[in-house]
Amino acid sequence: MMNILKHPIYARLFSAQVIALLGTGLLTVALGLLAFDLAGDKAGAVLGTAFAIKMIAYVCLAPLANAVSEKLPRKAVLIGADLVRAAVALFLPFIDSVWQIYVLIFILQAASATFTPAFQAIIPDILQDEKDYTKALSLSRLAYDLENLISPALAGLLLTFMSYHWLFGGTIIGFVASAALVSVVSIPSVSANKKTRPFFERLTRGSRIYLATPRLRGLLALNLAAAAAGAFVIVNTVVIVLSDYSKTQTDVAYALMAFGGGSMLTALLLPQLLDFILDRTLMLTAGFALTIVTIGHGLYTLTNGLPTWELFLIVWAASGMLYAAILTPSGRLLRNSAHAEDRPSIFAAQFALSHTCWLLTYPIAGWAGQALGLPMAMIILGFIALLGSVTAFFIWPFADTKELVHDHSDLPADHPHLREYGEEGKQHRHLFVIDDEHRSWPTHG
């Protein structure tokens, strides 16, 4: 898998992603400790609100940012977003009230809503071989898991001799270094032949393609399952470790490392697994298994009390493994569901729609945990994960082939698309994606 880093452009972009995420991981730990300082045992509710604001920024601004920046140089967009994030992080150490957390988190995540989909859409343009792209997705998953593994470990080390406020400095360094790396990379430009579309169509095109594609509707349902379990881990780990287990700030980092370590293990195994297991089979199995782990953990805690510290870490690691098995293959589904010119739009749609799931689950993780107790919050989120997994099972077709037989009763006989297929006429078979000539999914053939 690591041989993909021999590709010079991808290697530099991957390095930029890793460094930025290391900084973001330090931010996650520091923000949790800051919330605990300001709100005590109500930190879960504060973090739930902060992460809900983050999701509002993602959901509302990702498609808008894509539509506005479509004609701008992609490198400039990435560098600008990184520098905005660094500037916001500069103010975080000086926060002394909860409302300031909310304001700065919104601005920072608005920049992330611009950066992340644009970055993700560039990778398939650089790596056009599907096996290379699959390896890149696994490496990308590993990079995201640095937030939950290496960053907490580094945070735990730094916290032994400095205040958590200094962790925000690592966030600033990460974003600035990411911008510097992107600045020296040659990024493919958007095709000059790309059709010019009205602003509203650019704004909604990605979501229309996404929601008209059955496999992507299934992906969205599985995103709900992953978000249900992931939101509990991200929001309530600090409360469980510091309040319920009466552990230390360093142990918070260890718990997040367990979740991230499980996720990284899955990412390492996936390129081999996906050679002989269908994406649908792997992702649905992971969705149902994650449901069982989440509900089971909640029921056990509700009836028997806290599991041992060691068992808790094992459960967190298992949750991380299953979480990654759902999310890592999603880039393959997106790549196979749109033409190259529509990839930025569809990645932005995935970013916005998937974070709608987090917008639902983050407040539940924080507020239900505060009002009903953490075990009940875990059970509620487990049933949300079950709903997502069952929905995906029924709406994602089992026979999900890339080429489909379909007809074009809506096109004139001399249309260029029909002439392309010669004698086959209005009914023919080819790689099927939603586009200008194919506005709905075939229900026959």
- Give me 269's structure tokens: 């195994």
* Assigned domain for 244 exists: yes
* Assigned domain for 132 exists: yes
- Tell whether pTM > 0.85: no
The counts of H helices and E strands in the chain are 17, 2
Structure confidence at residue 325 (pLDDT): 92
pLDDT at 423 over 60: no
Name the 3-class secondary structure at 430. Answer: strand
pLDDT at 111 over 80: yes
Angle between helices 374-395 and 214-239 (to 10 degrees): 170
Which residue from 367, 364, 180, 382 is spatially nearest to 288, judged by alpha carbons? 382
Structure confidence at residue 146 (pLDDT): 57
- Cα–Cα distance for residue pair 417/396, rounded to 1 Å: 28
428 DSSP β-pair partners: 406
Structure confidence at residue 445 (pLDDT): 39
Structure confidence at residue 444 (pLDDT): 46
The tally of domains found in the chain comes to 1
Which residue from 324, 105, 360, 98 is spatially nearest to 232, judged by alpha carbons? 360
pLDDT in tens, 320-351: 999 999 988 888 888 888 777 777 778 778 87
- Cα–Cα distance for residue pair 20/185, rounded to 1 Å: 16
Which residue from 349, 356, 226 is spatially nearest to 284, judged by alpha carbons? 226
- Give me 22's structure tokens: 């290391």
* Assigned domain for 230 exists: yes
* Assigned domain for 285 exists: yes
* Assigned domain for 193 exists: yes
Minimum mean pLDDT range among 75-84, 103-112, 131-140, 238-247: 131-140
* Assigned domain for 412 exists: no
Q: Which residues make Cβ contacts (< 8 Å) with residue 420, sequence separation at least 6?
A: none
pLDDT in tens, 283-326: 999 999 999 999 999 999 999 999 999 999 999 999 999 999 99
- Give me 434's structure tokens: 């939603």
* Assigned domain for 428 exists: no
Q: Which domain holds residue 186?
A: 2-395
| CATH number where 55 lies | 1.20.1250.20
User: Pairing between strand 428-431 and 403-406?
Assistant: antiparallel
* Assigned domain for 430 exists: no
